[in-house]
């Protein structure tokens, strides 16, 4: 696990490009540590943080690191859904952000003989990008609301796409694609003989999608690691605000997650 | 060095209870937390006799100038804390103040005696924002309740006892005076102000899992200043002032209002090293105005001369 330097650091925004409904924000962090796939950072605009809806934002926001380039540039995938993301999506190159990170526990490598399958929903594509880089481009399945959002699939080339409204790719849920994938793996004699019969699922997306992934994987006895999201004030275990219920009681997603073993969860609420 | 209840501190900035978890911070940031500890003393989260899981989520609501939390004091309980947390906190380079709470004076006395007996613990802080199970009154909301609590607890330790006052009562200054008269060595204030947020999608329902929560951050700074000043006028014991401090300027204001130490809370969520930053900013302010770093400015003429 990569440790974060102690404190927030002021970093320069070097780019922001729109991809469908999303913005990819690039931040220069040449001296920062290389994050593990699945780790996150707390971000706030250095200036103009506040004064939007209800005078917010006040607290920093947590984002998965989507990619780290060789020069230390960090990419984050944003979707404007509230005052925090609204401000961050308005940042221009040359402006600064405060960043704390990398934080949390990321993805663990697949078990012996298991083939990784990445499953993303919407902006949940972010941690799968850096994990895909590490794993060398495994099978990836992405679900989006519609074609405009599905343009985000360009961030993970080669991924199979599903949309809720059928305007791009498979008309339906990404978990339907996952069910096919798991079924194929279980049936495939070729996969069986090659010892690659089993899969391990890595998923990030909205709670209903993660719950469907969890239930499907539990049903087929497929291990799954889920990158969850929860409102956070601090990101480093101080506020106890980001807890999620597990079979062992509440855990802080910021220090015990954001990636949790699906088997640790009764359900994704 | 400054002295707080006989405890030597390198600067006047500490953390507010429950706003910095030194053990979790070490997991996130490594030993840099120990080498560069941002506070002059570490105040623990509230410890209760029995373990507590805390409130159901959601636990947070963001405000324009602060936040509301409904955490519910999750902790491992006395036994768990002694076994798991205290040995790790002993590695901190600063004095440790353990914050405790109970629903009866006997519970609080048990906690105070147990922690008071430990060499790792420099002082105790009493969270009195808890209803007495017998009377139903919040212990810290009523001077007589607070006096009775101190009477029950005081004989159980020779270590300094700090009473963390609640702002959610008629007269925190009356409670502070009662605490002092019955043996408190210091008071700290303000705790969070009770508040709530409505659910954005379910009309009539509260957002927070606990229903109501505590408001903190810049939104409460003006309240903290007024209450610290009021309490300072009533007691001679040291006062730890807190509430919405984000800068050395804000810390200086609380010291000028009569605080001896200043605690930083919510700002640490936005800036993990806020304590160290604010201490440095305060030193710069005091250096410029010719004051001794961290010295409380009780002399009005000195207050007026600052730039």
Percentage of the residues of chain A whose pLDDT score is greater than 70: 95
Q: Judge whether residue A196 has pLDDT over 60.
A: no
Residue B73's Cβ-side half-sphere holds a number of Cα atoms within 13 Å equal to 20
Quick: pLDDT tens for B200-222: 999 999 999 999 999 999 999 99
| Residues A69 and A132 both lie in one domain | no
pLDDT at B130: 75
Distance from CA of B22 to the nearest CA of A (A): 8
Tokens 């990636």, located at residue: A259
Q: How many separate domains does chain A show?
A: 2
Q: Measure the CA–CA gap between B273 and A222, rounded to whole angstroms.
A: 42
Is A10 part of the contact surface with chain B (CB cutoff 8 Å)? no
Quick: pLDDT tens for A95-122: 999 999 999 999 999 999 999 999 999 9
B299 confidence band (pLDDT: 50, 70, 90) = very low
Average pLDDT in the B233-250 region?
A: 98
Q: Quick check: A170 and A162 in contact, CB under 8 A?
A: yes
pLDDT, mean over chain A: 95
A1 confidence band (pLDDT: 50, 70, 90) = confident
Of A191-200, A209-218, B150-159, B265-274, minimum mean pLDDT range: A191-200
B138 confidence band (pLDDT: 50, 70, 90) = confident
Count of helix runs (H) and strand runs (E) in chain A: 7, 16
Q: How many separate domains does chain B show?
A: 1
Chain A residues with CB-CB distance to B266 below 8 A:
233
Q: Measure the CA–CA gap between B280 and B39, rounded to whole angstroms.
A: 11
Strand partners for B125: B99, B162
pLDDT at A188: 61
Chain B residues with CB-CB distance to A242 below 8 A:
59-60
Q: Judge whether residue B307 has pLDDT over 50.
A: no
| Residues A213 and A144 both lie in one domain | yes
Model confidence, pTM: 0.94
pLDDT at A190: 54
Q: Measure the CA–CA gap between A173 and A203, rounded to whole angstroms.
A: 14
Report if residue A130 sits inside a domain: yes
Report if residue A22 sits inside a domain: yes
| Residues A93 and A123 both lie in one domain | no
Q: Judge whether residue B252 has pLDDT over 60.
A: yes
Strands A114-121 and A198-204: parallel
Chain B residues with CB-CB distance to A51 below 8 A:
64
The closest alpha carbon to B93, from B40, B169, B20, belongs to B40
Strand partners for B42: B96
Q: What is the CATH number of the domain that holds A34?
A: 2.40.30.10
Distance from CA of A72 to the nearest CA of B (A): 19
Q: ipTM value, please give it.
A: 0.94
Residue A154 vs residues A142, A147, B54, B91: alpha-carbon distances, Å:
11, 12, 42, 49
pLDDT, mean over chain B: 93
Is A98 part of the contact surface with chain B (CB cutoff 8 Å)? yes
Report if residue A91 sits inside a domain: yes
Q: Judge whether residue A75 has pLDDT over 80.
A: yes
B305 confidence band (pLDDT: 50, 70, 90) = very low
Report if residue A121 sits inside a domain: yes
Q: A88: which 2 tokens?
A: 């961050």
Quick: pLDDT tens for A126-146: 999 999 999 999 999 999 999
pLDDT at A191: 53
Do A250 and B67 make contact, defined as CB atoms within 8 angstroms?
Answer: no
B105 confidence band (pLDDT: 50, 70, 90) = very high
Of A195-199, B118-122, B298-302, minimum mean pLDDT range: B298-302
pLDDT at B134: 76
Quick: pLDDT tens for B261-286: 999 999 999 999 999 999 999 999 99
pLDDT at B303: 37
Average pLDDT in the B125-139 region?
A: 83
Quick: pLDDT tens for A163-185: 999 999 999 999 999 999 998 76
Cis peptide before A267 (omega within 30 of 0): no
| Residues A120 and A95 both lie in one domain | no
Which candidate in B86, B130, B220, B251 is catalytic? B130
Is A247 part of the contact surface with chain B (CB cutoff 8 Å)? no
Chain A residues with CB-CB distance to B67 below 8 A:
58-59, 233
Is B270 part of the contact surface with chain A (CB cutoff 8 Å)? yes
pLDDT at B294: 56
- Which of A51, A74, A103 delimits the end of a domain? A103
Report if residue A232 sits inside a domain: no
pLDDT at B204: 96
Report if residue A238 sits inside a domain: no
Q: In terms of residue numbers, what domain contains A31?
A: 9-103
Residue B86 vs residues A138, A240, B92, B168, B209: alpha-carbon distances, Å:
45, 19, 10, 31, 30
| Residues A98 and A141 both lie in one domain | no
Report if residue A97 sits inside a domain: yes
Average pLDDT in the A70-85 region?
A: 97
Q: What is the CATH number of the domain that holds B185?
A: 3.20.20.70
Is B64 part of the contact surface with chain A (CB cutoff 8 Å)? yes
Report if residue A239 sits inside a domain: no
Q: In terms of residue numbers, what domain contains B182?
A: 2-305
In total, chain B counts a number of residues equal to: 307
Query: Which of B25, B30, B53 lies closest to A238 in CB terms?
Result: B25
Per the model's pLDDT, the better-predicted residue between B135 and B6 turns out to be B6
Q: B16: which 2 tokens?
A: 């507010």
Q: What is the CA radius of gyration of chain A?
A: 18
Average pLDDT in the A6-29 region?
A: 97
């Amino acid at each position: 696990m990569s440790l974060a330097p102690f404190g927030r650091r002021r970093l320069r925004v070097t780019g922001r490009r729109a991809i469908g409904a999303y913005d990819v924000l690039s931040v220069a962090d040449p001296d920062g540590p290389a994050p593990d796939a699945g780790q996150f950072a707390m971000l706030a605009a250095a200036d103009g943080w506040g004064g939007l809806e209800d005078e917010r934002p006040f607290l920093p926001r947590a984002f998965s690191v989507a990619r780290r380039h060789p020069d230390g540039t960090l990419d984050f995938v944003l979707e404007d859904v509230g005052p925090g993301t609204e401000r961050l999506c308005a940042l221009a190159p040359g402006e600064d952000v405060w960043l704390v990170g990398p934080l949390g526990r990321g993805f663990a490598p697949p078990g012996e003989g298991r083939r990784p399958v990445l499953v993303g929903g919407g902006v949940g594509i972010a941690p799968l990008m850096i994990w895909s880089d590490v794993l060398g481009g495994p099978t990836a399945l992405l679900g989006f609301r519609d074609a405009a959002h599905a343009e985000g699939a360009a961030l993970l080339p080669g991924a199979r796409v599903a949309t809720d409204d059928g305007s791009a790719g498979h008309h339906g849920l990404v978990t339907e694609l996952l069910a096919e994938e798991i079924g194929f793996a279980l049936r495939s004699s070729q996969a069986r003989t090659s010892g690659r019969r089993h899969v391990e699922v890595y998923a990030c997306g909205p709670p209903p999608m993660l719950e469907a992934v969890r239930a499907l994987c539990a049903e087929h006895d497929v291990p799954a690691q889920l990158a969850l999201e929860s409102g956070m004030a601090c990101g480093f275990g101080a506020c106890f605000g980001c807890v999620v219920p597990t079979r062992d009681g509440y855990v802080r997603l910021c220090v015990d997650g954001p990636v949790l073993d699906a088997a640790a969860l009764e359900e994704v609420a | 060095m400054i002295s707080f209840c006989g405890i030597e501190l390198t600067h006047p900035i500490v953390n507010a209870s429950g706003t910095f978890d030194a053990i979790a911070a070490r997991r996130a940031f490594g030993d840099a937390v120990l080498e560069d500890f941002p506070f002059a003393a570490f105040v623990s989260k509230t410890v209760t006799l029995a373990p507590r899981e805390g409130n159901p989520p959601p636990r947070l609501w963001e405000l324009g100038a602060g936040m509301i939390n409904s955490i519910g004091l999750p902790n491992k309980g006395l036994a768990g804390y002694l076994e798991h947390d205290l040995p790790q906190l002993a590695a901190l380079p600063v004095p440790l103040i353990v914050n405790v709470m109970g629903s009866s004076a006997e519970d609080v006395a048990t906690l105070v005696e147990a922690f008071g007996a430990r060499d790792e613990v420099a002082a105790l802080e009493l969270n009195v924002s808890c209803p007495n199970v017998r009377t139903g009154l919040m212990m810290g909301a009523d001077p007589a309740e607070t006096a009775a609590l101190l009477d029950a607890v005081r004989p159980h330790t020779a270590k300094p006892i700090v009473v963390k006052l609640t702002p959610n009562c008629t007269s925190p200054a009356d409670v502070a005076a009662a605490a002092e008269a019955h043996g408190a060595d210091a008071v700290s204030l303000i705790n969070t102000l009770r508040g709530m947020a409505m659910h954005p999608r379910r009309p009539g329902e509260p957002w927070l899992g606990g229903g109501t929560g505590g408001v903190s951050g810049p939104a409460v700074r003006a309240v903290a200043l007024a209450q610290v000043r009021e309490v300072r006028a009533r007691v001679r014991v040291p006062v730890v002032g807190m509430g919405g401090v984000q800068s050395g300027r804000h810390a200086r204001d609380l010291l000028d209002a009569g605080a001896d130490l200043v605690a930083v809370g919510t700002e640490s969520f936005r800036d993990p090293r806020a304590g160290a930053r604010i201490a440095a900013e305060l030193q710069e302010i005091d250096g410029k105005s010719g004051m001794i770093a961290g010295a409380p400015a009780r002399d009005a003429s000195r207050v007026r001369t600052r730039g």
